[in-house]
Amino acid sequence: MATGKLTALKAKALKEPGRHSDGNGLVLYIKENGSKSWVLRSQVDGKRRDFGLGSFNDVSLADAREKADELRRQYRSGTDPVAAKRAAKAPAPTVPTFREAAEQAHKEHKGGWKNEKHKAQWISSLQAYAYPTIGDMPVDQIEGPAIRDLLAEIWLSKPETASRVKQRIGATLDWAYAKGYRKSEAPMRSVTKGLPRQPKKDNHFAALPYDQAPAMMAKLAETDTVGRQALRFLILTAARSGEVRGACWREIDLDQQLWTIPGDRMKAGKMHIVPLRPAAIAILEKLKAAYGDNPDQPLFPGKANKPLSDMTLTKVLRDGFGDEITVHGFRSTFRDWAAEQTDVAGDVVEAALAHTVQNRVEAAYRRTNYLEKRRVLMSMWGSFLLGENEATEEVVATDNADNTSRSAAPDLAHGVARSAA
């Protein structure tokens, strides 16, 4: 193989197949059929790399040297010219519309969400409020003004819904950014600055005064629909709506009179045991006779033997009692009754509500779920709701009978930190 610098004339005259060096890695490669091309041979990360610079007929010696110099500069600066060339040739990804991006993001993320209601509402809220305006827009063309305009229509009239839609639009656009469909993250901060301040949210659920609860229970018992029985059971157990609607017979032990709710169905993610007293047991016996007690059978079956929808109990309330109280408010009704009409310690009441202890010191000392005390408390509550008289001395009797030790615990009776409902 020839050595030394080439000249344009010499390169043109060369016929012998092989590699003819111009120096510093640049060679003229001649094939057996006589075709010629320029190649830069170089060491990259300890490995030899050959870079084609073009055909001899298309690239002059001067141009080949210039291309070789540029490649060397790129490598010295840390750029991989081959990768850069491939990226330049690669077709640009097809940018999805907001609708397509939202549905794909929802599909990828919903597996990590426990709440079925949240899974459904995440996409349905976008379908209702975002798709009509930006659903068909490519995600790389959606900026703050378009988002602000669609949110402005519901920002004050439906503040909670609007805030959730805003969060979900932002999550979709951030997903698109992470996938390379957008050059920037979601512009949600600027969107917020372009909207007025929302009214402060009232975190209190409208609750029925406890002295009116017995009359409501009596009225609910006038008709034995599944929805009414579910609402009565909810009031008797002071449970949350989702806990009652999602309950199945596998969770019920009629012999021990216990309802064990698994952690994956609880707000705090921890298993909760609910003592069932006579009034609640009576409802279950009636349901068992009507629908059976297959382990996977919902306690309160709805259409197609599925659990009741989240609106069923709300509809029962609205149809019979107006919309001034909420289903969740019955937990406050129970708490108010316990505080004003019993001498039961506050931590026992909070345990009945499955509230977590916010104070870490108190939580560390708590070694009991107060089951026996809660049995008595729930019996008292059931008797109150049904207008019966029950001796409250049982609570005092079980104070010392609870099969757990609190010798090391601080006095929590009047100072329990309460979590949000």
- On whether both 341 and 246 belong to a single domain, the answer is yes
Tell me whether residue 413 is in a domain.
no
Tell me whether residue 1 is in a domain.
no
Q: Indicate the pLDDT class of residue 405, thresholds 50, 70 and 90.
A: very low
- On whether both 309 and 389 belong to a single domain, the answer is yes
- On whether both 222 and 331 belong to a single domain, the answer is yes
Q: Indicate the pLDDT class of residue 347, thresholds 50, 70 and 90.
A: confident
Q: 120: closest CA among 164, 151, 174?
A: 164
Tell me whether residue 84 is in a domain.
yes
- On whether both 76 and 107 belong to a single domain, the answer is no
pLDDT given at position 47: 76
- On whether both 331 and 360 belong to a single domain, the answer is yes
C-beta contacts of 22-27 below 8 A and 24+ residues apart: 22/61, 22/64, 22/65, 24/68, 25/68, 26/53, 26/64, 26/65, 26/68
Over 50: is that where the pLDDT of 411 sits?
no
The amino acid occupying position 52 is G
pLDDT given at position 89: 64
- On whether both 230 and 367 belong to a single domain, the answer is yes
The Cα diameter of the chain in Å comes to: 117
The amino acid occupying position 75 is Y
Tell me whether residue 53 is in a domain.
yes
pLDDT given at position 379: 94
Of 65, 89, 113, which one is at a domain's C-terminal end? 89
- On whether both 234 and 366 belong to a single domain, the answer is yes
Of 129, 160, 193, which one is at a domain's C-terminal end? 193
- On whether both 78 and 115 belong to a single domain, the answer is no
Over 60: is that where the pLDDT of 113 sits?
yes
The distance of Cα 412 from the centroid of its chain, to the nearest Å, equals: 34
Over 80: is that where the pLDDT of 323 sits?
no
- On whether both 108 and 55 belong to a single domain, the answer is no
The amino acid occupying position 196 is P
- On whether both 374 and 238 belong to a single domain, the answer is yes
Over 70: is that where the pLDDT of 397 sits?
no
CATH of the domain at 34: 3.30.160.390
- On whether both 188 and 256 belong to a single domain, the answer is no
Tell me whether residue 407 is in a domain.
no
Residue with tokens 């939580």: 363
Over 90: is that where the pLDDT of 8 sits?
no
pLDDT given at position 410: 29
Q: Per-residue pLDDT tens for 265-280?
A: 888 888 999 999 999 9
**Higher pLDDT residue, 396 or 91?**
91
Tell me whether residue 417 is in a domain.
no
Of 28, 54, 89, which one is at a domain's C-terminal end? 89
Q: Indicate the pLDDT class of residue 52, thresholds 50, 70 and 90.
A: confident
Tell me whether residue 331 is in a domain.
yes
pLDDT given at position 253: 94
Q: What is the extent of the structural domain holding 50?
A: 8-89
- On whether both 44 and 150 belong to a single domain, the answer is no
Over 90: is that where the pLDDT of 377 sits?
yes
60-71 mean pLDDT: 88
pLDDT given at position 182: 94
pLDDT, averaged across the chain = 82
Over 70: is that where the pLDDT of 179 sits?
yes
- The residues, any chain, with a CB within 8 Å of residue 378's CB and separated by 6 or more, are 236, 237, 238, 274, 275, 276, 277, 280, 352
Over 90: is that where the pLDDT of 208 sits?
no
Residue with tokens 């070694």: 367
Tell me whether residue 419 is in a domain.
no
pLDDT given at position 389: 55
Which range is least confidently modeled, 84-98, 186-200, 307-321, 353-367? 353-367
Q: Indicate the pLDDT class of residue 112, thresholds 50, 70 and 90.
A: confident
CATH of the domain at 126: 1.10.150.130
**Higher pLDDT residue, 45 or 227?**
227
pLDDT given at position 140: 95
CATH of the domain at 243: 1.10.443.10
Which range is least confidently modeled, 52-61, 99-108, 183-192, 371-380? 52-61
Hey, what are 55's tokens? 């055909």
Hey, what are 10's tokens? 């010499």
319-335 mean pLDDT: 83
Q: Indicate the pLDDT class of residue 401, thresholds 50, 70 and 90.
A: very low
Over 50: is that where the pLDDT of 157 sits?
yes
Instruction: Looking at mean pLDDT, say which of 66-70, 101-105, 118-122 comes out highest.
Output: 101-105
How many domains, the chain? 3
